Amino acid sequence: MKKWFVSFLFAIFGCILGSAQGYYTKYYNDKKLIKKAEKWVKSQQWRNGFTMAKPHKSVNTVEFYLQYQKNPSQWQALFQWLASTDLLNIPKGKHPIEGTTLVASVEDSSNQPLEKRKTESHIKQIDFQYVVRGVERFGLLDHATSKPNTTYKRDVIRYDYEVDKTKFYDSNPGEFFIFFPGDWHIAKVETPLSDQQIRVIVIKVDYIRD
């Protein structure tokens, strides 16, 4: 009973702390699991030959670890495709990843002012995004101050949000982003740079629930 009560207090404290600082991704309070996931990411067992980039600091390490264990074939194929493909010169468009149901979307696009960009999150799929040319700005929404403004349709739902509560991150070719269902996000946001042209690789991975 005492052990259960201590765990309960830690959970409550975590929720309170998260609300005070913002809540941007799925929360885990299992310290052993968190440590195990961090160790796994650092071990680079997931790379499968892909050495060009590492997970951005915003990536939910525990979600990455758990989803990889539940669905290794898709993740292995994803990283192998990235490692074996000339990402800068492959034609834009959709490219099926052989032996899987995955499709890599190669997008030559441009950033836009924040007010023109739509928010999104997904339930069935994970957004893997790797910007290989240019700089793309991403936003992560605070769950506590955001709320859905559409119905769920085609694995997308959109949100009203507070800009000053949103975390913004700029990409570089040495890092990739992963947006799990708990990561409500905005993509292709304008940066202060003069050049807003980007090339981004987007791959949708199945999200496996217990």
| Residue 114, in any domain of the structure | yes
| Residue 2, in any domain of the structure | no
| Residue 6, in any domain of the structure | no
| Residue 17, in any domain of the structure | no
Domain holding 110, by residue range, is: 22-206
Per-residue pLDDT at 11 exceeds 70: no
| Residue 123, in any domain of the structure | yes
Quick: pLDDT tens for 94-129. Answer: 999 999 999 999 999 999 999 999 999 999 999 999
Per-residue pLDDT at 14 exceeds 80: no
| Residue 14, in any domain of the structure | no
Q: What is residue 21's predicted lDDT score, i.e. its pLDDT?
A: 75
Q: What is the mean pLDDT of residues 60-87?
A: 98
The three-class DSSP label of residue 139 is strand
Per-residue pLDDT at 1 exceeds 70: no
The CATH number of the domain holding residue 100 is 2.60.120.370
Q: What is residue 17's predicted lDDT score, i.e. its pLDDT?
A: 44
The total domain count for the chain is 1
Helix (H) or strand (E) holding 122: none
Number of other residues whose CB lies within 10 A of the CB of residue 188? 21
| Residue 1, in any domain of the structure | no
Q: What is residue 177's predicted lDDT score, i.e. its pLDDT?
A: 98
| Residue 63, in any domain of the structure | yes
Buried b (16+ CB within 10 A) or exposed e, 152-175: eeeeebbbebeeebbeebebebeb
